[in-house]
Amino acid sequence: MNTTTPPDVEALDEPSSREPAPILERVLRHRSDLRSLKRGVLAILVLLVLGVCYLAQEILIPLALALLLSLLLSPVVTFLERVVRIPRVAGSLLTLVAVVAIVVLSVMSLAQPAQQWIAHAPATMQTIEQRFRSFREPMRQAQEASKKIEELTQPSAPQTVVNAQPSLLASMATSTPRALGEIAAVLLLVYFFLSSGNGFLRRMVEIAPGLREKKVVVSIARDVQEEMSGYLMMVSLINFGLGVATAIVLALMGVPNPLLWGAAACLLNFAPYVGPVCTGLALTLVGFTTFDTLGHAFAVPAAFFLLASIEGQLITPTLIGRRLSLDPTVVFVWLLLWGWLWGIVGILLAGPLLACFRIVCQHVDGLRSVGVLIGDGTSAETTLKK
């Protein structure tokens, strides 16, 4: 009796054992294609956002500055509304007027020392050049010798006509109305953001599809708003403390106009790494023009760098916590990016914007991996467990 399997039965058995492999390959290939497509769409989206930020900077810079200022002043307005029982509209106006008055008085008190320092800037550079003349003399002689050789070997160059550049007063006269208009726009936006309160949050809740989504939107929005406001308030207080400490130390060392350099240290410290370096370089020039010996001259920037190190390594991590620590490489690249997009204003806004972006990443499930990526690694496990 023949026990071989009929051909039709074998034909039915073979596909059942071979068919899952091609299906699995097609599924894996499909998933890989989807991941590649997502990466491509994300790259295009990032490039589009950067292009919009560059082209629409005249609109986005006042908007970003007003949003950060409103988050900074929001706790004050909330305190006036809940404790003092002042309506939010009146409290927003009162807070804004008080801040503008403080800023105007500070600028008026520091304007004269700043003008004097700018007026004496050429003499300052000449003094520093005389201090280092002994070091530069061999180099200068070599440059003069090479210049004479070039003049002997090359024909006389035709005379060039140099166009006169506009004076400083003319450029200030043309730029002042535009700057005043941008300041007025920022103040109006800050007032609208502060007086509206949770109106925008309520509208976001209304467009959420279900009850669960509404609760998630409310939770994320409130947590992000509270943490961003607290972070900006704490950073501002820390920078103000650094400015006060810098002014006190410089006054004790006999440096002229210590309040001016304290205010510069406070303002520039909003730009991580770059700001303290710029303040230290400026104080180096001040030290060389104030003191005769190299030891006293270098003591001025050394004292500031000591204060900045204490602030960056001890005070800020203690008061703010490691959860908002950022990777130095990411911070530096971020500063370069926003400095290229928005100039000096972008450098000053880059640090707060990056920290606020990480706060958002920690509260949105889809962005938590990005928050871990831009962090310094000290809170990766904590962030992933949330």
Instruction: Quote the CA–CA distance of 246 and 301 in Å, as a whole number.
Output: 10
- In angstroms, how far is the first alpha carbon of the chain from the final one? 70
Helix (H) or strand (E) holding 44: helix 20-55
Instruction: Quote the CA–CA distance of 311 and 97 in Å, as a whole number.
Output: 31
pLDDT number for residue 386 = 43
What digits encode the pLDDT tens for the residues 270-308?
A: 888 888 999 999 998 888 888 878 888 889 999 999 999
pLDDT number for residue 227 = 79
Amino acid letter for position 8? D
Q: Is the pTM of this model over 0.85?
A: no
Closest CA to 261 of 237, 285, 238: 285
Instruction: Quote the CA–CA distance of 283 and 277 in Å, as a whole number.
Output: 10
pLDDT number for residue 381 = 43
pLDDT number for residue 372 = 80
pLDDT number for residue 28 = 67
Instruction: Quote the CA–CA distance of 265 and 255 in Å, as a whole number.
Output: 15
Instruction: Quote the CA–CA distance of 308 and 271 in Å, as a whole number.
Output: 13
- Burial class of 246 by CB neighbour count within 10 A (0 to 12, 13 to 18, 19+): buried
Instruction: Quote the CA–CA distance of 362 and 303 in Å, as a whole number.
Output: 37
pLDDT number for residue 180 = 82
What digits encode the pLDDT tens for the residues 213-252?
A: 677 777 777 777 777 888 888 889 999 999 999 999 999 9
pLDDT number for residue 118 = 75
Mean pLDDT by 10 residues, the chain (386 residues): 51 50 68 73 84 88 89 88 89 92 89 78 68 59 61 53 47 65 89 80 68 72 78 90 94 90 92 88 87 86 93 83 72 87 86 81 76 68 44
Instruction: Quote the CA–CA distance of 346 and 337 in Å, as a whole number.
Output: 8
